[in-house]
A and B are shown apart, each in its own frame.
Chain A
Amino acid sequence: MVTSRKGAGGKTAAAKKKAGAAGPDLVQLLTPEGDLVEHPDYSIDLSPEEYRGLYRDMVLVRRIDAEGTALQRQGELGLWAPLLGQEAAQVGSGRAQTAEDYAFPTYREHGVAWCRDVDPVNLLGMFRGVNNGGWDPNEKNFHLYTIVIGSQTLHATGYAMGMQRDGREAAVIAYFGDGASSQGDVNEAFVFASVNNAPVVFFCQNNQWAISEPNERQFRVPLYQRAAGFGFPGVRVDGNDVLACLAVTRAALEHSRSGNGPILVEAFTYRMGAHTTTDDPTRYRSSEELEEWKAKDPIMRMRAFLEKNKYADEAYFKDVDTEADTVAADIRARCVALPDPKPISIFDHVYAEPHPLMDEERAEYGAYWESFEGAH
């Protein structure tokens, strides 16, 4: 795989068009119709297998996400936060990371988790209510989901400051959304990262909606331009173009890894589904808008690209769909088998060291709960 910010770019793919429709301030390498376009700063040249891999990732991630929604509708999850429409932003940025990099997600980064090899069932635990995260962040360098908006951007910055002190050849990627850009913590993270020259990529998925509030309620200057005021570069990428997301994020991570400090990537995308399964987007946005974005679907354009270039045939697409169903069935089976935690376990991990109140209450509540017939 070769990615560069400048250079000749791909030669293996079909002839490229000049950039145009996407506008000068939006990095796009693959049009909604599935045609490659050139960009002066970014290019990508992958093998057919790698192109297919990105398509497969996106299809599987969308299928896992759909299973999450289905599980919620059937009462197996208390809530689900769908990523529908954001597959390219998550898979592109996810596949840009090395094993040594570290990701700090929001609660919607199911696609990034997939790329980091995190078991999707781990993500379901929180939404099912059997834990509040529970996985070991250091196992895959993928931090716990963070629900309070924007908090994790500071954690990411602090982690990057640690990497800096340890001389690690890696970078941190901090995920957040357009709504989070209004939070003080996000802006403080920009300040701390900037003055410390911390190796952190701020990856904003601008999906146009913070629950019901559009971009106009959050900012008046395009988000990626905000970086300039903090003293680091900002770039806007077509968030529905997996190739552009991969190329831009790779370059951004390399920028940070190489000692150049933070960088902001705004992935311009769209949340095609609801904010969460409790939300009703028809109350605040038009069906015309949704249709407009459906035409820019990240998976359809990648499929069109693979077909046009004869990188994949009908049998391949069928195989991926079958695999997706298999993965979904496996996740469903393991999700519904997740046991409820024992009530007494709530005392287990509050403190690292012995704590008399924990011991006292564990004994008191334990005895009370045990006093009921059929107690655990």
Chain B
Amino acid sequence: MAESTSKTQQISLSKGLNLGLRRALEDDPKVLLMGEDIGKLGGVFRVTDGLQKDFGEARVMDTPLAESGIVGTAVGLALAGYRPVVEIQFDGFVFPAFDQIVTQVAKMRARALGKVSMPIVIRIPFGGGIGAVEHHSESPEAYFAMTAGLRVVAASNPVEAYWMIQQSIASDDPVVFFEPKRRYWDKAELDPTATPYPLYASRVVRQGTDATVVAYGPMVKTCLEAAKAAEEEGRSLEVIDLRTLSPLDLEPVFASVRKTGRLITVHEASVFMGMGAEIAAKVTEKCFYSLEAPVLRVGAPHTPYPPSRVEEEFLPDLDRVLDAVDRAFAF
């Protein structure tokens, strides 16, 4: 497949995933894709576009419309030696499969005392900002991150998406893979011959000295824009893309906070019980004497995701990030 091995090319995040999946299908005959509308249609976000045509219906499966069934049969396929990559069409539709993911996928290896593995990837487009109807804009990552036995990652840009999906498929542990829905059409330059960054590692994506901002998925771009705006106001923000939510890789965050003394966490999910809470607790524990201000958290209010006409106010944006930065400096 020349497409996936050609040199540098401009790709969207959706295309990055598509190319990554294509390579995984090429590299390992045990890799299977499963999901609703992923075959002929290529998925509602076109992430699997053309893959059924090239790899056949036995490897790129249009499944019945039943999420628990998709994940439950993926468990059986994994037990039979396959590496299923499951697409959940939207974040809000993962809950019918929640039981299979939490009760079966996450625990199977421990129950078997390591005698079986669950190399399953569960892809979930997540987050809002696209003017969608109810149940199409949610950020359920913390549910999965708190479940032992799962690994949880979130890609933030096209290049990361390309590499991270392949690394997740190669992992012998189950991975819940969050895709930033509103960034599917963002573009970036991909060099498929580059060496990928490790999967379970966070990454400093902008150096800074005055405050640290940590985010993942769709909010990484927002935070980079905020850092740019802050720079014009004379403040230097260090931005960290968390990338992995379970396990967390906080050493780069600790190192950054020891330098800046201030930390702001940012995600679309609600502040209450969100990933930011765990990060704040850990940073307080590990960097107590370096902190110049309490760790501040930016996220959504603790309400159901609102009608889309008010999602702009509901979701964190550049201004909310900068407001938190201001508050951190007010201490």
Contacts and interface: CB of A to CB of B under 8 A. Distances in A.
A143 B111 CA distance: 11
Interface string A146-174: 10100101111111111101100000000
Contact of B69 (A132, A136, A191, A356): A191
B109 interface: yes
Nearest to A172: B76
A118 B48 CA distance: 42
* Residue of B104, B200, B249 most packed against chain A (CB within 10 A): B104
B69 A189 contact: yes
B223 to A, nearest CB: 24
B173 interface: yes
Interface residues of A, number: 42
A323 interface: no
A132 B76 CA distance: 19
Interface in B131-179: 148-149, 151, 171-173
A133 B104 contact: no
Contact of B77 (A136, A146, A159, A188): A159
Contacts, number: 141
Contacts of A356: 200, 247, 249
B286 to A, nearest CB: 11
A163 B109 contact: no
B19 to A, nearest CB: 24
Nearest to A159: B76
Contacts of A162: 76-77, 79-82
B76 A158 contact: yes
Contacts of B73: 154-155, 157-158, 161, 189, 192
* Residue of A349, A355, A356, A357 most packed against chain B (CB within 10 A): A349
B109 A351 contact: yes
B66 A188 contact: yes
B209 interface: no
Contacts of A157: 72-73, 76
B89 interface: no
B79 A155 contact: yes
Contacts of A184: 66, 68, 96
B75 A185 contact: no
A357 B246 CA distance: 9
A270 to B, nearest CB: 29
Given A132-B111, A135-B112, A144-B111, A155 B75 contact: yes
A350 B111 contact: no
Closest 3 CB pairs of A and B: A158-B76, A154-B72, A162-B80
24 contacts: A131-B113, A135-B112, A136-B112, A138-B115, A138-B116, A144-B111, A148-B104, A154-B69, A157-B72, A157-B76, A159-B79, A161-B80, A162-B77, A162-B82, A165-B82, A188-B68, A188-B69, A191-B64, A192-B73, A195-B64, A349-B113, A350-B110, A356-B247, A357-B248
Given A154-B69, A185-B68, 17 more contacts: A132-B111, A136-B116, A138-B115, A144-B111, A148-B104, A155-B72, A155-B104, A157-B72, A158-B72, A161-B77, A163-B80, A188-B64, A188-B66, A192-B64, A192-B69, A351-B109, A351-B149
